[in-house]
Amino acid sequence: MKVLHLSAVKTFGGGENHILNLCREMSDFSGVENFILTVKNSTFSNVLKDHDIRHIRAPLSIKFDLRYSIKIISICKKEKIDLIHIHDPTALTLAVSATKLAKLPPFILSKKTSFPIKNRKRTLYKYNHQNIKKVLCVSEETKRITSEGIKDGSKLVTIYHGTTNNKPGTAPFRLREKLNIPSDKIIVGTVANHIRAKNLETWVKLIDHLINIKEQKHFHFIQIGSFTKRTKIYTEMIKEKGLENAINFMGFLPNGSDFIPQFDISLLTSQSEGLPQFIYESFYHKVPVVSTNVGGIPEVIKDSENGLLTNPYEIESLADKLIALSRDRELQQKFAEKSYKILEENFTTSVMAERTLFEYKNVLYGKN
């Protein structure tokens, strides 16, 4: 079985990490050969240079660059591809465009966010394209929302991504030492690219509320993730509120999840999610989590059982929960141990890969 994975994303986030984990896990399955088509000079294509996975690069200077579509066709012909696994909306558009030029193998689409499918003729057409045989949803909530735009609900399947149980490497430096963070400071960490869904405006407002209003100056906040055009908004907010000494923006760091063990608490302030890889990684590294309850997050975190949840934008609630958790070492340990057990039993990449292969076989052979 030859599978071509399509990524038309120029950054590297949880979705790209999912592709990497999936291909690594499937390398242990006999009879499965994976290829990844990425954007030339993208962060993801650079990350793949350090991994033994066959990958090809295509130019994408504009969002609908047909050179990417033509590359899909050439790879399918040259490598005799059996199945195309599409991992983001832009890649879906380019794959559907390629079907106008040549006959392609069947598609499997991964839906990794909880954004609804827009009620537009062209958008509905591509998400209901006849080549798409299965839509793999990252959570039950994503499946529910996606079902509103998919005519054939039998195509929808939930497969949680999880994380690998044999994570490589350690962080190249200690955050406390590199950033001169005093030993009595509580490090609250976030791994998220600077995109709208992650709602870093609320993140800054929360820190302002903690430091300047509640005078909880024993917190220090670390944020890891690719900068975007939104980054300037956040840096200006930080400067305006005088929070420069309480926050470090680290930007994109290769293997950024390796820094999670150095966090005392993991924090997410997202306004929309599928189910973020950062939560699984925090579970794996036994770091307790405070998060908003959006997307599929409540499917893996039960409030006050293995983490703390609050509604999005509720700054005071988030602040109170961070303070309460920071003062209770026993509760931190309880959340960390319980979450790790939940991860081991339900959300490993080996389970994810096995279930994905099950769907591949269903599409290709009508059996498993």
Same domain, 25 and 157: yes
- Percentage with pLDDT > 90 across the chain: 90
Mean pLDDT of 204-231: 97
Q: How high does pLDDT run on average in the chain?
A: 95
Same domain, 339 and 353: no
80: region left, alpha or beta (phi > 0 left; psi from -120 to 50 alpha): left
pLDDT band at 40 (very low <50, low <70, confident <90, very high): very high
Mean pLDDT of 239-259: 94
The pLDDT of residue 31: 87
Q: Round to whole Å and give the CA distance between 276 and 278.
A: 5
Three-state secondary structure string covering 252-267: CCCCHHHHHHHCCEEE
Span 91-112, pLDDT tens digits: 999 999 999 999 999 999 999 9
More confident position, 27 or 222: 222
Span 148-187, pLDDT tens digits: 999 999 999 999 998 876 665 688 999 999 999 999 999 9
Is it the case that residue 209 has pLDDT exceeding 70? yes
Is it the case that residue 34 has pLDDT exceeding 90? yes
Span 173-184, pLDDT tens digits: 999 999 999 999
Residue 235 lies in a domain: yes
Same domain, 145 and 187: no
- Give CB contacts under 8 A, 24+ apart, made by 168-172: 168/255, 169/255, 169/258, 170/258, 171/255, 171/258, 171/259, 171/261, 171/262, 172/258
Mean pLDDT of 218-227: 97
Same domain, 13 and 70: yes
Residue 246 lies in a domain: yes
Same domain, 320 and 330: yes
Q: Which domain holds residue 234?
A: 175-346
Same domain, 219 and 152: no
Is it the case that residue 188 has pLDDT exceeding 60? yes
Span 287-312, pLDDT tens digits: 999 999 999 999 999 999 999 999 99
CATH code where residue 358 lies: 3.40.50.2000
Same domain, 359 and 256: no
Same domain, 112 and 246: no
Mean pLDDT of 38-64: 92
Main-chain dihedrals φ then ψ at residue 191, nearest 5 degrees: -115, 110
Q: Round to whole Å and give the CA distance between 276 and 353.
A: 17
The pLDDT of residue 368: 46
pTM above 0.85, yes or no: yes
The pLDDT of residue 63: 82
Is it the case that residue 4 has pLDDT exceeding 50? yes
Q: Residue 153: which residues within 8 A CB-CB, separation 6 or more? A: 147
Mean pLDDT of 2-18: 94
pLDDT band at 366 (very low <50, low <70, confident <90, very high): confident
Same domain, 78 and 109: yes
